[in-house]
């Protein structure tokens, strides 16, 4: 009887959640992401590629098709080798493993990123060591220097929101101490530092093809780029089911190659990545132009030697909660990436970090908000969002003066 009762409650809760989600979606006029509209932009080419994929007759032809995409990626990222994986997280874990990082080793990374960055470290038995960030939201090389010890075997910097971190300084520091560098470029497809693609500075660069990314499939997918043949050989064994030998079994990892179903979408979008980036950068320009001069917000201002891919357009805003509510009331979906710094998440409490350990990161978490910047978004919609933000702060100032 109790089981039936609990099942009934569960079903009712699920129904309420579904209705709430449907109601929220009905209120939103401008969504944060729009996968359908993005795919529609290239629908004819995607359909042609899907037809090719559907005509593949066996696993050997699947592998040939996958290698075509890897070659296309290698060309774009100007790196000798590209290895497709099941996700960006798998790409990070495999890269670290291939570079000799294992149980008990330490890997320095940022506390301001998606949790998968740190999980890729702990998944192989290594220990994440966090270092504070700078005003650009990325890990600060000076803070990395304070964390280096004999146990540190790698640095895992993130090019967050598509904005390249200070990767050359990080690589110089790593070389000085004999430490390997794996770049987390999961949000930074097409970004560059001093004209050179991100991912090509360290021993390995890792990308994600999750639907929220710039080059995206219908689900998870990832890519490793590298110039090191030793990394290639190791990753090929880790990701493929037919390498079921002792070396693979010792890793305790499930093989994880990229599913062919995503490749038609990825090939077409990679073909058009410069066009996609141009649209996103243009939208960023609309925001930056129309939001300039609002004293309550801080806009992203990439240095002149970097080109951001603008996976997110992230600002820092006073009264962030009020701004989020105002935008939602106008049918605009903005988001916060991310709501809790990694060092304060329960998954990493065992590492012993406390509130106050990373003051820059913690302050930024209180103020960041990301605005819609899908490459399917029309410039006039971005202008509408900017106008609502300006109106919100004008109203707020007027209320303060009145009181």
pLDDT tens, residue by residue, 231-290: 999 999 888 755 555 555 554 556 688 999 999 999 999 999 999 999 999 999 999 999
Kindly report, residue by residue over 157-199, the tens digit of the pLDDT: 999 999 999 999 999 999 999 999 999 999 999 999 999 999 9
pLDDT at 349: 94
pLDDT at 343: 97
* pTM, full prediction: 0.91
Reference 210, options 25, 33, 50; nearest CA is: 33
Cis before 338 (ω within 30)? yes
- Using the predicted structure, report yes or no on whether residue 4 has a pLDDT greater than 70: no
pLDDT at 401: 87
Kindly report, residue by residue over 193-213, the tens digit of the pLDDT: 999 999 999 999 999 999 999
pLDDT at 118: 98
Kindly report, residue by residue over 333-370, the tens digit of the pLDDT: 999 999 899 999 999 999 999 999 999 999 999 999 99
How far is residue 369's CA from residue 303's CA, in Å, rounded to a whole number? 20
- Using the predicted structure, report yes or no on whether residue 316 has a pLDDT greater than 80: yes
58 compared with 18, residue with greater pLDDT = 58
Helix axes of 273-291 and 263-271: crossing angle, nearest 10 degrees:
70
The pairing of beta strand 192-193 with beta strand 152-156: unpaired
pLDDT at 400: 83
> What is the side-by-side order of every strand in the sheet holding 192-193?
196-197, 192-193, 306-307
pLDDT at 274: 97
Reference 153, options 99, 206, 193; nearest CA is: 99
pLDDT at 18: 57
The Cα-based distances of 234 to 228, 238, 241 in angstroms read: 10, 6, 13
How far is residue 364's CA from residue 140's CA, in Å, rounded to a whole number? 14
219 compared with 10, residue with greater pLDDT = 219
pLDDT average, residue stretch 383-398: 96
- Using the predicted structure, report yes or no on whether residue 113 has a pLDDT greater than 60: yes
pLDDT at 1: 45
In 312-330, which positions are buried (b, 16+ CB within 10 angstroms) versus exposed (e)?
bbbbbbeebeebbebbeeb
Model confidence at 111, pLDDT cuts 50, 70, 90, reads very high
pLDDT at 19: 52
pLDDT average, residue stretch 73-81: 95
β-pair partners for 31: none
Kindly report, residue by residue over 50-66, the tens digit of the pLDDT: 999 999 999 899 999 99
Q: Across the chain, what does the average pLDDT equal? A: 92
Reference 209, options 199, 220, 198, 200; nearest CA is: 220
Residue 372 tokens, joined: 């819609």
- Using the predicted structure, report yes or no on whether residue 141 has a pLDDT greater than 50: yes
């Amino acid at each position: 009887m109790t089981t039936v009762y609990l099942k009934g409650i569960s079903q009712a809760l699920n129904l309420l959640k579904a209705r709430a989600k449907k109601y929220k979606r009905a209120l939103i006029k401008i969504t944060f992401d729009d996968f359908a509209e993005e795919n529609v932009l290239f629908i004819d080419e995607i359909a042609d590629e899907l037809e090719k994929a559907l005509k593949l007759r066996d696993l050997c032809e699947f592998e040939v098709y996958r290698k075509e995409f890897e070659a296309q990626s290698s060309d774009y990222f100007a790196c000798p080798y590209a290895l497709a994986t099941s996700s960006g997280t798998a790409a990070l874990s495999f890269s670290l493993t291939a570079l000799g990082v294992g149980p008990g080793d330490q890997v320095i990374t940022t506390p301001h990123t998606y949790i998968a960055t740190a999980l890729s470290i702990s998944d192989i038995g290594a220990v994440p060591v966090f270092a504070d960030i700078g005003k650009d939201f990325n890990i600060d090389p000076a803070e990395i220097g304070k964390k280096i010890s004999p146990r540190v075997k790698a640095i895992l910097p993130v090019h967050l929101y598509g904005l390249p971190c200070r990767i050359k300084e990080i690589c110089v520091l790593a070389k000085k101490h004999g430490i390997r560098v794996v770049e987390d470029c999961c949000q930074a497809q097409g970004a560059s530092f001093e004209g050179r693609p991100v991912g090509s500075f360290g021993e390995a660069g890792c990308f994600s093809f999750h639907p929220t990314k710039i080059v995206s499939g219908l689900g998870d997918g990832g890519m490793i780029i590298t110039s090191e043949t030793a990394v290639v050989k190791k990753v090929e064994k880790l990701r493929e089911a037919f390498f079921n030998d002792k070396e693979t079994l010792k890793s305790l990892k499930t093989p994880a190659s990229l599913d062919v179903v995503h490749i038609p979408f990825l090939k077409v979008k990679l073909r058009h990545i410069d066009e996609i980036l141009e649209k996103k950068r243009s939208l960023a320009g609309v925001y930056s132009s129309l939001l300039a001069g609002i004293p309550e917000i801080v806009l992203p201002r990439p240095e002149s030697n970097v080109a951001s891919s603008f996976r997110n357009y992230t600002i820092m805003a006073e009264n962030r909660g009020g701004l989020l509510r105002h935008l939602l009331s106008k049918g605009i979906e903005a988001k916060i990436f991310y709501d809790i710094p990694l060092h304060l998440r329960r998954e990493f409490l065992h590492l012993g970090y406390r509130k106050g350990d990373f003051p820059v990161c913690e302050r930024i978490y209180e103020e960041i908000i990301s605005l819609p910047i899908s490459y399917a978004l029309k410039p006039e919609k971005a202008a509408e969002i900017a106008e609502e933000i300006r109106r919100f702060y004008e109203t707020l100032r007027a209320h303060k003066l009145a009181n």
